[in-house]
Structure 1
Amino acid sequence: MTSEHSEPSEPSDPSLWVAVGPDDSDDELRRKASMVRPAPRQVAWQRQELVAFVHFGINTFTGLECGTGLDDLSLFDPAELDCRQWVRVLAEAGFRSVILTAKHHDGFVLWPSRYTGHSVAATPWRAGRGDVVRELADAAREFGLGLGVYLSPADLHQSNAPDGCYGNGSPAVASVIPTLVPGDDRADRVASGELPSFSCAVDDYNRYYLNQLYELLTEYGPVNEVWLDGADPTATKQNYDQDAWFGMVRALAPDATCAVGGPDVRWVGNESGYARYSEWSVVPLRGEPSAFGQTTAVAEEEHDLAGPGPMRRADYLKWYPAEVDVSIRPGWFHHASQDAAVKSLPRLMDLYRHSVGRNAVLLLNVPPDRRGLLPGPDVARLAEFGRVLREVYGHDLAAGARPHEHPPGNAVVVELPESRTFNVVGLSEDIARGQQVEAFAVDVRLEGTWTRVATGTTVGHRRLVSLPRPVTSDGVRVRVLDARAARPLVVSLYLDPTVPAPVVHGSFAEARDNTGISSDDAPRLADLDGTGMSLSAQALAAAGVVPGGRVAHGGLEFRWPDVAPGEPDNVRADGQTIRIGGSGSRIGFLLAGTADRSFGPGLATYTDGTQQEIPLLALDTLGEGDYPAAAQTVVSTPYHNRPAGRVDEPARVGWCAAPLDPARTLESITLPRYGEGASPEEPGVHIFAVAVG
């Protein structure tokens, strides 16, 4: 894409990406990774920490999560729409930006675009003269929030409408953006050069997409994030000219980050709200270094995205930080049936500690209802969330203390003027100078003796280390056990009342509970308690899995719980710790997911106190799709709805495994915290058996 104006380009500083070679040793790869730096826009983006997502559109009125593209636009009429209410609530909760689904996959657009009739202009809302993007942009500016736009690359309307241009096979032809339409009100400003124009060779859909992107970037004030979604529910193949898209963003909004499908910010790899235990912003990529396109050395969903293994497969290293997207509700769009399923305050705080507190940005979705307002339950929860964030993480208990290095570069000691009680230790690096820490230990002074209370791996912009229980001490020491280069750490201390007290079970059998199950009112969700829809021992017996029996998979042998009918036969993952001893190179789980494919990071704790993340990935019990090799179907059983006496379709119990350090002895596993189980639509994981080998 070319412009009559000079386009901003990426700085020539080679540290934005560093080339690696096939003969580079692990030490050389670490040295090169230590040289990688972020662009200023990436630093500014990371420092936001909290960004709000707003899913709103025709789906809000049809009750769908993904529309058809041919939805009845007469349904869209948010008579009380008030974007000032949205932004006021978000600002008071501590969010720094808000991203609106200006166009979701259905193709309906929330502004009166010149290039489609499938927009708010074709709805009864405000007599077809409304503009949601305009009202949100004005409100964001009033309250000091940044504005982001979600413009779905996939477009079901352009795919399904008779005159649609998505995947229509049109050739790439010379085009000018903006492509002026008859009576275009921008003609004089484009002719005078007040508005820039761009020349490119693109097909019909890419021209359509570029023109809509141009409208969003030139008519609503500054845009600080452009968010693309990689999902594509269309049945049509369409090439995306992303170089042209991102080139336009760089020219029109040089400070905006291009996220998820873009070159500045990557998807964390799940929609559960968790960053990795070791979340690197320096990521190994394959191919030729490019300003706009990159391919991670391993799939973005992989547990180890940027460790030694992926680095050996890379062609270059680049700063590519993670954004963690999750919804405050089970769905992305508002559904009144989910008003009782808004995530609790402890759950939101847990997500905060595992996203912002793991070197990522939390993108929390809060969907408006059909009135055009954020619903009462969500507003109340966000008010609680903001209050606790301010009360806890706005007050550093180490403020005023004089930290010093001892010895230089290896440890930071914080001497407190008096003993203080805390249960979260915050660490941070100056990411403008790269990300360096690979391993650390936290010690507190108890009765004059340094005692280790936690260990960890990466730090980055921010690491929040939760302690099992509050401690009272007048001194904290953070030892850097391994680093790519010496960099100072900033240490902070907090007392967070929402950190859950540890629940420890002496064995897997002791932990079995069958909690968090669904009911017959949600017939497409898995019920694991043996009373309704079932993956219980009785249903599993139909596939040859009987109580006390054994199942072999992936080189591991699992013993099925030997329980009587009706007794608990599985453990719902909810943050509990289970003592499981032994040594081996792998730990494996037989498990089932509910509602959706479910991901969560657990922890393996060794007897020497070190910890290692163990990712739990469960298949969607009833769904189909492609899954990483770490998640495979082991048992397929009839899906029973016992009260109705029918079998709807097969259901699946899956397997996932994670590596262990064979030189260490396992002491326990801590399962991911999936939530309170208040709603059957809340994703969860139920574990039937564990094996170490």
Structure 2
Amino acid sequence: MSKLLFVFAGLVMWMLGSVKAQNDRDIPVPTPAQLTWQNAELVAVFHYDLHVFDGEKYNQQKNRISPIEDYNIFNPKKLDTDQWIKAIKEAGFKIAILTATHETGFALYQSDVNPYSLKAVKWRDGKGDIVKDFVESCRKYGIQPGIYIGIRWNSFYGVHDFMVNGDNQFAENRQQYYNRMCEGMVEELMSRYGDLAIVWFDGGAHGPEKGGPDVLSVFEKYQDNCIFYHNTQRADIRWGGSETGTVPYPSWGTFPFPFSHSANQEVVLANNFQLLKEGDPNGDYYMPAMSDAPLRGYNGRHEWFWEPGDEEHIFPLENLMNMYYKSVGHNTSLILGLTPNPDGLMPEPDVKRLKEWGDEINRRFSNPLATASGKGNQYKINLKGKQEINHIILQENIANGERVRKFVLEGKTSDGWQTIFEGSCIGHKFIHQFDNMEVSEVRLTVLESKGEPQIKNFQVFDFSNTLK
């Protein structure tokens, strides 16, 4: 009888193990490019275009429909992409993106298919290539390069919202020409500058099914380990639903559809982009959110491009830290917009603020009191006697997917175990800030999960909240 029970118990354990393995297989996991993206946490996007040089405030609505009269205003006499990249390197950024083209349609490299490019200007005798300079600077300082391609609007060619105006044969011919030119530019940018971390099509990129260029097949021909963002066929990340540099909690790294803007657009856009902001813990596709905001977005402004006399709109350090908590600390990577000036340099006030921000992040999070990691449902940190703590960082091993669905953090005080936080999503990183609490132990208990929980980091901190 005992032998039969033993066999039966073994069969039950085998069945449970099979269910667990099946659950593990059902968990969406990131591609290597997506994993690199989330591990980067801080991403810079440098916006540079002709209207940086016109001495006027940037007017997006006007610039989308008004060609620049004299493209030779483009003359960054002191251009130094090394200076740009050193500024973000010191702040802890890992990826940098350059606007190779934006809404004017002007290309910041030597294009053979788009005559409206650096070949056309007097600067550097028409031989400049800022994309090349940028990528080389990135690799020099250990930053992964990315390229932003704006083809949705092109004021020079008269393209608005992907399409040439008109419905006659002339418009049809121009649309075909524009589509071929866009495909050619994508081929140039994907093939000439080596491996990229991300290609970002601003506002998306209509595919052939909507009358636009076939950019995805060109991208996939040359870049096999790169984030593609995005068109109606593919999106490796999703917009976080605002340009505040923040997302709400929770923000899951999974999504119910294979791309963010599709036949399901009504669902995606509903309730002020709620699905984009929050994701879906039961989604079948790994597609983490990104948070984005310009550095010069303070006090009612929102400037992606350099403007004269705009330094007072650089976000204060306190605001940037709040942004960090609600982006990186909410399971997204933060894309910060930076604005080189007409000389071709990052303005010193911007460089200074970036350095202050990086220093403050390091001050807060480089020296945990204690750390734990492992697999399973419970993790405990024993401190050296009673200590004050005020921050906790949690990280899952997202290489094997987001598994935690419900958890509780507790601290052992003089009055016993007290709840610090009850949550749902951990993902790549969850940061919780709270009032000082004196504890001797800290405990993480996973109450619900999909598959076995895998905690990469469980860290506790104590530091002053006073900004230096």
Give your verdict on TM over 0.5.
yes
Q: Is 1:230 the counterpart of 2:200 in the alignment?
A: no
Q: Residue 298 of structure 1 aligns to a residue in which SS?
A: helix
- 1:61 pairs with one of 34, 42, 53: 53
Shift of 1:432: 1.4
* One-letter amino acid of the counterpart of residue 436, structure 2: P
- Residue of structure 1 equivalent to 2:410: 443
Distance 1:308 1:121 in 2: 43
Shift of 1:85: 0.2
Aligned pairs, number: 420
Q: Is 1:412 the counterpart of 2:379 in the alignment?
A: yes
- Residue of structure 1 equivalent to 2:39: 47
CA offset digits 1:57-109 (Å, max 9, x no partner): 11212332432451021221111111000001111111111101111122111
**How do 1:133-172 residues align onto structure 2 when only pairs under 5 Å count?**
133-157=131-155, 159-160=157-158, 166=164
CA offset digits 1:354-404 (Å, max 9, x no partner): 1111110011111111111111111110111111222222222214xx668
TM-score by length of 2: 0.81
CA contact (8 A) 1:69 1:108 kept: no
Change (3 A) 1:73 1:290: closer
Distance 2:384 2:266 in 1: 48
- 1:204 pairs with one of 161, 177, 187: 177
Distance 1:283 1:306 in 2: 10
- Residue of structure 1 equivalent to 2:444: 478
**How do 1:283-302 residues align onto structure 2 when only pairs under 5 Å count?**
283-285=255-257, 295=264, 298-299=267-268, 301-302=272-273
Q: Whose radius of gyration is greater, 1 or 2?
A: 1
- Residue of structure 2 equivalent to 1:455: 422
Distance 2:87 2:38 in 1: 22
TM-score by length of 1: 0.56
Change (3 A) 1:295 1:170: farther
CA contact (8 A) 2:409 2:419 kept: yes
* One-letter amino acid of the counterpart of residue 428, structure 1: Q
Change (3 A) 1:373 1:419: farther
Distance 1:294 1:33 in 2: 27
Shift of 1:169: 6.2
Q: Residue 267 of structure 2 aligns to a residue in which SS?
A: coil
Distance 2:294 2:339 in 1: 8
- 2:339 pairs with one of 362, 367, 371: 367
Question: 1 or 2, which has the higher helix percentage?
Answer: 2
- Residue of structure 1 equivalent to 2:191: 218
Q: Is 1:433 the counterpart of 2:400 in the alignment?
A: yes
- 1:342 pairs with one of 291, 314, 329: 314
Q: Is 1:35 the counterpart of 2:1 in the alignment?
A: no
Q: Residue 109 of structure 2 aligns to a residue in which SS?
A: coil
Change (3 A) 1:302 1:295: same
- Residue of structure 1 equivalent to 2:294: 327
Shift of 1:295: 4.8
Shift of 1:168: 6.8
Distance 1:456 1:336 in 2: 45
Change (3 A) 1:248 1:457: same
- Residue of structure 1 equivalent to 2:9: none
Q: Greater RCO between the two (CA within 8 Å, min separation 6)?
A: 2
- Residue of structure 2 equivalent to 1:517: none
* One-letter amino acid of the counterpart of residue 268, structure 2: A
Shift of 1:238: 7.1
Shift of 1:499: 7.8
- Residue of structure 2 equivalent to 1:79: 77
CA contact (8 A) 1:224 1:253 kept: no
**How do 1:384-403 residues align onto structure 2 when only pairs under 5 Å count?**
384-399=356-371
CA contact (8 A) 1:52 1:364 kept: yes
Change (3 A) 1:156 1:307: closer
Change (3 A) 1:410 1:51: same
CA contact (8 A) 1:275 1:354 kept: yes
- Residue of structure 2 equivalent to 1:20: none
- Residue of structure 2 equivalent to 1:613: none
Identity fraction in percent? 27
Change (3 A) 1:306 1:385: closer
**How do 1:10-29 residues align onto structure 2 when only pairs under 5 Å count?**
none
CA offset digits 1:446-470 (Å, max 9, x no partner): 1161111222221101100111x12
- Residue of structure 1 equivalent to 2:349: 377
CA offset digits 1:551-572 (Å, max 9, x no partner): xxxxxxxxxxxxxxxxxxxxxx
Q: Residue 299 of structure 1 aligns to a residue in which SS?
A: helix
* One-letter amino acid of the counterpart of residue 36, structure 1: P
* One-letter amino acid of the counterpart of residue 44, structure 2: A
- Residue of structure 2 equivalent to 1:623: none
* One-letter amino acid of the counterpart of residue 325, structure 2: R
**How do 1:516-665 residues align onto structure 2 when only pairs under 5 Å count?**
none
Shift of 1:167: 5.5
Q: Residue 157 of structure 1 aligns to a residue in which SS?
A: coil
Shift of 1:39: 1.6
* One-letter amino acid of the counterpart of residue 298, structure 1: V
Distance 1:308 1:217 in 2: 30
Shift of 1:417: 3.2
Change (3 A) 1:213 1:447: same
- Residue of structure 1 equivalent to 2:12: none
CA contact (8 A) 2:390 2:461 kept: yes
CA contact (8 A) 1:443 1:454 kept: yes
CA contact (8 A) 2:67 2:156 kept: no
Distance 1:324 1:274 in 2: 5
Change (3 A) 1:431 1:58: same
CA offset digits 1:214-265 (Å, max 9, x no partner): 1111112222200011179xxxx97324xx3122222201011112544211
Shift of 1:492: 0.9
- Residue of structure 2 equivalent to 1:303: 274
Shift of 1:418: 4.1
Q: Is 1:112 the counterpart of 2:106 in the alignment?
A: no
My pick for the range that moved more, 432-441 or 84-93, is 432-441
Q: Is 1:70 the counterpart of 2:62 in the alignment?
A: no
Question: 1 or 2, which has the higher strand percentage?
Answer: 1
CA contact (8 A) 1:93 1:383 kept: yes
Distance 1:218 1:404 in 2: 41
Q: Is 1:248 the counterpart of 2:218 in the alignment?
A: yes
Shift of 1:484: 2.8
